[in-house]
Structure 1
């Protein structure tokens, strides 16, 4: 007998949640363990209950489905469900198990669940969705960054970021009001932040252009940038070239 898939629904529309629950009741291989109205609840319940499968809406208030995925410690298999087909390519880039375009039929839902069951059988119960996300450069630039700090989720406008520092598998994001650690790569932020506003000056630093007050030479062919608050950051040879290109000196 096939083991049941522990399943969570993350969907802000009550009608859509109720319809999905009705469909799932008919599928013996599904054990629905929680339903969540928004991404904040979704993060908490997924990390606590460690489901095999999550049905995830993309367009939700507070944080989007894609932003929610960045905050997960437990990585379940994902079936995106949305009324907007423009997200389909991005969903598959994130290695989603499937993508349901609302309204969908019982048959289409069963087909998606079968795909998940096959994937779990061949790849195991943990998805590689987080790794895929860190490789995926967004077609449009980030206007905000979502960070989990213990039990709190912070939404940081990109315009508030002063600079980002690499810390092994994490980055430290410095803002006017403090700093926040996030498990993400510098490569991701280099491609995800608008290059007109943010510049990679060193393998360890991405800095907001408007924060730069001065560029100083301190050894032959070695430079530092000094920010408005007197913070000093190293500049690599490539970083110096990037500075010259964007600041036209």
Structure 2
């Protein structure tokens, strides 16, 4: 039996909550872990790495759905559920995998779950809109070995992984610092990019930094040095980062 797809529903409207719960109950593979009435309540559940997908309303009191999404480093797959069409472009810039307009039919909901299942099975990739210039005819950005495709200035850029020194999360963007001294900006979140980068080659050392391990010229318990730049090692990342860097330095 296939494992359950665990989800949470975040919506301040009881009727919208009940519709999504009813639809979810029709799909045996889907398990609703929590139903949240606001973003603050959802925040705690989103710390659970076992959550696969969140159905997220946009217009909610205090903190809206997009603000919640932007506040998180790592998160599950995101499906926006809303009565408003005008947020669609921004939603996909935030790498949402789908955008459901209320009222949501069971058929449309099932189509979304099929897409979620493809992502979780690794047969599709998040954030690949069909209108980007360098996508294949299937609408997917190629995932060649040694290559990272990123969205920057309304284009898809192809980066050689060997040309990357480190990635820096800065405000609402990520800056990719290259060996040639270029700085490439993207609105894709650092948590999403961390999942795309090969773990043997790149290391998350801080909520704001991912480094190319072979570009590290020096390190201690609180920082790494790359190309004359000292980058802090975050407390929550320190143990794994130091272990990885030590192993690499011993090779």
Normalization by structure 2: what TM-score? Answer: 0.51
Name 1:242's counterpart in structure 2. none
Cα distance, 1:136 vs structure 2: 7.7
2:109, 2:97 → 1: CA distance?
12
1:47 counterpart SS class: coil
Instruction: Tell me if structure 1 keeps the 8 A contact 2:96–2:127.
Output: no
- The equivalences for 1:159-178 within 5 A come to 169-171=168-170
- CA 1:133 to 1:101, structure 2 compared with 1: closer, same or farther past 3 Å? farther
Corresponding position of 1:92: 92
Q: What is the distance in 2 between the residues matched to 1:50 and 1:134?
A: 27
Partner of 2:71: 71
- Superposition RMSD on alpha carbons, in Å? 3.2
Partner deviation per Cα, 1:170-217 (whole Å, 9 max, x = no partner): 55xxxxxxxxxx68547679xxxxxxxxxxxxxxxxxxxxxxxxxxxx
1:48 aligned residue: 48
TM-superposed deviation, 1:91: 1.5
* 2:152 and 2:186 in contact (8 A); partners too: yes
Rate the CA distance shift 1:25–1:75 in 2: closer, same or farther, 3 A: same
Contact kept in structure 2, 1:135 and 1:188, CA below 8 Å = yes
Gaps of 5+ in 2: 129-148, 155-166, 176-184, 188-251
Determine the C-alpha separation between the residues in 1 that align with 2:40 and 2:55: 15
2:220 is matched with: none
Q: CA deviation digits over 1:19-61, x for unaligned, max 9?
A: 1111111110101111111111111111136410100001111
The structure with more radius of gyration? 1
- Cα distance between partner residues in 2 of 1:86 and 1:136: 20
Partners of 1:134 and 1:43 lie apart in 2 by 27
